[in-house]
């Protein structure tokens, strides 16, 4: 890997799911879950991926981590092609430990019959991160303390913990195998606001302590903006914008991002700006609109938008927008 | 006279041995005609039990311990089930959190909305029911309402289903509309649409009680706010008082722990710990063990609700002076 290059590079990643045919001579149709997504992830940064439900955020993460087979495109990790983890078995083990995912639902992602300590030791041993069970237990107890759980928690079952504590356990389990990149899929969405703040702080603290790189997936733009350095906005399987967190308010931001920002009800009594209210719902990903994916709901749409798929333009340094009317100079 | 008045209302849950653990303790607030009240708090704070108490839809294990809930001047807790049936869905109606599970999947939308109307107006002609159902759907922004009447819930998206729920709730022009987390399950752009509709409805409906954990939603719609913690109202007042000059440490903590679109990236001032369960409530202030300003008195004595400013009531020993309400 060349120095200063991206840690992870995703190129033209596409994932289509076939739709079950109802008639024999029907043309095969697909759900365009993720289409032509490219981005780079640099060591030590937090990349936020934001979008409404059905925009393909989770599928993107799953495709990168080889949890679902990609249709086309490549994933390059430290200069090496790891698409679908098609690498020698010895290497695969390393990949599984270096790229980890924390799932959305802390309730559903723990086995109710296994003590949490054992649930954490298991990946450590399977991955060769600990030589024997005793070492795994010792490491687990240490990690539990780091995330703010008492070491006694080792012998308890998942039902004995609250939502926030379970999310911490999910974090410990991911940390157990010494990851470099953590994919956090809606990791704080199920939590109450006061607990959400604790877990966000924990993510920031762990990032420093373990030199982690995060891909943080969520639907709450305010949370994503808080935790991320750069943000990738997805809509209907496509990347609409990649921006630094402070560029989201820019006049050059994508109309969809502008609408998202304006849709958030701010908890203050200050007079609010005129809100952009988008009409309708996110369209079906089976027959995505021709032209711009957002054209049907865009408040700035022009006739061309319905015909030609717009390119990705760099409107400011490091700020890419898939909308020709934001590039300025017209 | 206020539309709804909670008077020192307390309720709890009975366990298998018949012991009652208190949840809602001494809750008092009122909603005036045409006003919107926000009930905020985290999960487990008793928000939903408050709205279900008013609707008399509490689960079987729930026990009303004391107090009154006046609606139209009558105590709903003393009403018979027959009397309740007359006002429920009519003068008093509710929008539930889950638009996915609150509709019957095997009945058409038109059928389900029409039923609400027919139940309370048995002599309406079918044509009239149809016409009113269409009008109600149109008022919540559903296009092509006539054709959609014969569709089933699965043919509607989440946002559309929530609109159907609202149309159903307002068809009898209720005096009070209770909305329990009406936008929590929805995407932000859809949430904005629904909030827009609810704001439009506020003009012609009576009162609104908005139960939510989202302070942004409250700021958008409500004029008055009750902040609940572990079954007690810790602070209540006008929107301006609560948002601009919050007094209770829980309210302050809650406000500052939410990242907003303009906040900086420094560490979030999180409240440590989590909401206690009904079996772990302390003797004094229920927020005491998470409070950064906890005093010895807080552990022993339940703070009184005191009027500390114009229409601003707080229950915290940091503000021991004020008129008892």
What is the band of B204 on the pLDDT scale with cuts at 50, 70, 90? low
Are the beta carbons of A267 and B258 separated by less than 8 Å?
Answer: yes
Q: Is residue A232 part of a domain?
A: yes
Which tens digits make up the pLDDT trace of B94-128? 998 877 788 999 999 999 999 999 999 999 999 99
Which tens digits make up the pLDDT trace of A74-91? 999 999 999 999 999 888
Are the beta carbons of B214 and A265 separated by less than 8 Å?
Answer: yes
Q: Please list every residue in chain B whose beta carbon sits closer than 8 Å to the beta carbon of residue A269.
A: 219, 239-240, 243-244
Taking the C-alpha atoms of residue B25 and residue A45, their distance in angstroms, rounded to an integer, is: 47
Q: Is residue A144 part of a domain?
A: no
Taking the C-alpha atoms of residue A82 and residue A88, their distance in angstroms, rounded to an integer, is: 10
Which tens digits make up the pLDDT trace of A267-321? 888 877 778 888 888 888 888 888 999 999 999 999 999 999 999 999 999 999 9
Q: Please list every residue in chain B whose beta carbon sits closer than 8 Å to the beta carbon of residue A194.
A: 42, 253-254, 257, 270-271, 274-275
A190 — contact with chain B (CB < 8 Å)? no
Are the beta carbons of A267 and B253 separated by less than 8 Å?
Answer: no
Residue B317, pLDDT > 50, answer yes
3-state DSSP call for residue A140? helix
Taking the C-alpha atoms of residue B59 and residue B46, their distance in angstroms, rounded to an integer, is: 13
The reported pLDDT for the residue numbered A330 is: 46
Q: How far apart are the first and last CA of chain B?
A: 17
Distances (CA, A) of A217 to A160, A212, B273: 27, 16, 25
Q: Please list every residue in chain A whose beta carbon sits closer than 8 Å to the beta carbon of residue B262.
A: 266
Total domains in the fold of chain A:
1
Q: Which of A103, A97, A65, A60 is nearest to A82 (CA)?
A: A65
Are the beta carbons of B257 and A197 separated by less than 8 Å?
Answer: yes
Taking the C-alpha atoms of residue B141 and residue B160, their distance in angstroms, rounded to an integer, is: 9
Which tens digits make up the pLDDT trace of B186-199? 888 889 988 988 88
Q: Please list every residue in chain B whose beta carbon sits closer than 8 Å to the beta carbon of residue A268.
A: 219, 243, 260
Q: Please list every residue in chain A whose beta carbon sits closer than 8 Å to the beta carbon of residue B243.
A: 267-269
Find the closest chain A residue to B156 by CA distance.
Answer: A281
A263 — contact with chain B (CB < 8 Å)? yes
The reported pLDDT for the residue numbered B159 is: 85
Scan for tokens 């001494």, then name that residue: B26
Q: Is residue A161 part of a domain?
A: no
Name the minimum distance, in Å, from the CA of A34 to any CA of chain B: 19
The reported pLDDT for the residue numbered A329 is: 53
Are the beta carbons of B271 and A194 separated by less than 8 Å?
Answer: yes
Average pLDDT, chain A: 90
What is the band of B185 on the pLDDT scale with cuts at 50, 70, 90? confident
Find the closest chain B residue to A219 by CA distance.
Answer: B187
Q: Is B39 exposed, middle or buried (0-12, 13-18, 19+ CB in 10 A)?
A: buried
The tokens for B316 are 């915290």
Residue B34, pLDDT > 90, answer no
Q: What is the CATH number of the domain that holds A57?
A: 3.40.50.300
What is the residue range of A228's domain? 8-88+98-105+181-326
What is the band of B242 on the pLDDT scale with cuts at 50, 70, 90? very high
Name the minimum distance, in Å, from the CA of A18 to any CA of chain B: 21
B100 — contact with chain A (CB < 8 Å)? no
Q: Is residue A137 part of a domain?
A: no
Q: Which residues contact A185 (CB under 8 A, 6 or more apart)?
A: A57, A58, A61, A101, A102, A103, A104, A217
B267 — contact with chain A (CB < 8 Å)? yes
Between A301 and B202, where is the model more confident? A301
Between A21 and B232, where is the model more confident? B232
Side-chain half-sphere of A106: how many Cα atoms within 13 Å?
26
Report the relative pairing of strands A238-244 and A319-321 from DSSP bridges: antiparallel
pLDDT above 90 covers what percent of chain A? 59
Output the pTM of the full model.
0.89
In B206-263, the DSSP E strands lie at: 207-212, 224-229, 232-238
A246 — contact with chain B (CB < 8 Å)? no
Q: Please list every residue in chain A whose beta carbon sits closer than 8 Å to the beta carbon of residue B157.
A: 281
Q: Three-class SS string for B69-93?
A: EEECCEEHHHCCHHHHHHHECCCEE
Which tens digits make up the pLDDT trace of A166-219? 888 999 999 999 999 999 998 888 888 888 999 999 999 999 999 999 999 999
Find the closest chain A residue to B192 by CA distance.
Answer: A263
Q: A104-130: buried (b, 16+ CB within 10 Å) or exposed (e) per residue? A: bbbeebbeeeebbbebbbbbbeeeebb
Phi, psi of A263 (to 5 degrees): -80, -15
Are the beta carbons of B219 and A259 separated by less than 8 Å?
Answer: no
């Amino acid at each position: 890997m060349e120095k200063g290059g991206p840690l992870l590079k995703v190129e033209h990643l596409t994932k289509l799911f076939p739709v079950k045919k109802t008639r024999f001579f029907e043309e095969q149709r697909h759900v365009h879950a993720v289409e032509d997504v490219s981005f780079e992830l640099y060591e030590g940064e937090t990349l936020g991926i934001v979008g409404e439900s059905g925009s393909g955020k989770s599928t993107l993460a799953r495709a990168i981590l080889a949890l679902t087979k990609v249709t086309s495109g490549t994933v390059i990790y430290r200069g090496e092609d790891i698409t679908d983890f098609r690498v020698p078995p010895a290497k695969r083990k390393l990949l599984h430990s270096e790229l980890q995912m924390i799932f959305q639902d802390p309730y559903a992602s723990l086995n109710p019959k296994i003590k949490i300590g054992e649930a954490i030791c298991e990946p450590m041993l399977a991955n060769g991160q600990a030589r024997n069970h005793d070492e795994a237990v010792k490491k687990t107890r240490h990690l539990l303390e780091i995330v703010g759980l008492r070491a006694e928690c080792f012998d308890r079952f998942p039902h004995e913990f609250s939502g926030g504590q379970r999310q911490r356990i999910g974090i410990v389990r991911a940390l157990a195998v010494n990851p470099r990149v953590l994919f956090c899929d809606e990791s704080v969405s199920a939590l109450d606001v006061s607990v959400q703040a604790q877990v966000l702080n924990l993510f920031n603290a762990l990032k420093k302590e373990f030199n982690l790189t995060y891909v943080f997936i969520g639907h709450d733009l305010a949370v994503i903006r808080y935790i991320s350095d750069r943000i990738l906005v997805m809509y209907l399987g496509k990347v609409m914008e990649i921006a630094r967190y402070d560029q989201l308010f820019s006049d050059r931001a994508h109309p969809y991002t502008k609408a998202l920002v304006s849709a958030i009800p701010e908890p203050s009594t200050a007079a609010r700006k005129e809100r952009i209210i988008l009409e309708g719902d996110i369209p079906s990903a089976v027959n995505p609109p021709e032209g711009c994916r957002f054209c049907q709901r865009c408040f700035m749409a022009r006739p061309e938008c319905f015909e030609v798929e717009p390119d990705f333009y760099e409107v400011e340094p490091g700020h890419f927008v898939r909308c020709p009317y934001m590039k300025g100079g017209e | 006279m206020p539309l709804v008045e909670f008077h020192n209302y307390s309720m709890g849950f009975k366990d298998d041995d018949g012991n009652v653990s208190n949840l809602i303790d001494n809750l008092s607030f009122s909603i005036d005609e045409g006003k919107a009240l926000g009930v905020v708090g985290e999960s487990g704070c008793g928000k939903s039990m408050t709205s279900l108490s008013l609707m008399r839809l509490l689960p079987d294990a729930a026990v009303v311990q004391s107090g009154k809930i006046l609606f139209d001047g009558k105590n709903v807790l003393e009403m018979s089930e027959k009397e309740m049936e007359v006002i429920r869905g009519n003068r008093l109606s509710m929008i539930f959190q889950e638009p996915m599970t609150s509709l019957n999947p095997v009945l058409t939308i038109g059928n389900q909305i029409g039923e609400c109307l027919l139940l309370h107006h048995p002599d309406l002609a079918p044509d009239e029911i149809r016409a009113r159902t269409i009008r109600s759907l149109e008022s919540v922004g559903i296009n092509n309402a006539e054709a959609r009447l014969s569709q089933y819930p699965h043919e509607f998206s989440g946002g559309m289903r929530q609109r159907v729920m609202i149309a159903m709730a307002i068809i009898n022009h209720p005096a009070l509309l209770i909305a329990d987390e009406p936008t929590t399950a929805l995407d932000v752009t859809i949430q904005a649409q629904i909030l827009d509709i609810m704001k439009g409805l506020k003009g012609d409906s009576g009162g609104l009680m908005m139960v939510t954990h989202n302070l942004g939603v409250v700021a958008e719609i409500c004029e008055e706010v009750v902040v609940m913690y572990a079954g007690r109202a810790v602070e209540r007042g006008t929107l301006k008082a609560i948002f601009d000059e919050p007094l209770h440490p829980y309210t302050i903590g809650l406000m500052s722990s939410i990242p907003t679109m303009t906040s900086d990236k420094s560490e979030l001032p999180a409240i440590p710990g989590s909401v206690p369960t009904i079996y772990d409530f302390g003797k004094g202030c229920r927020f005491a063990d998470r409070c950064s300003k906890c005093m010895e008195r807080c552990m022993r004595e339940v703070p009184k609700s005191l009027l500390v400013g114009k229409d601003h009531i707080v229950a915290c020993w940091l503000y021991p002076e004020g008129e008892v309400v």
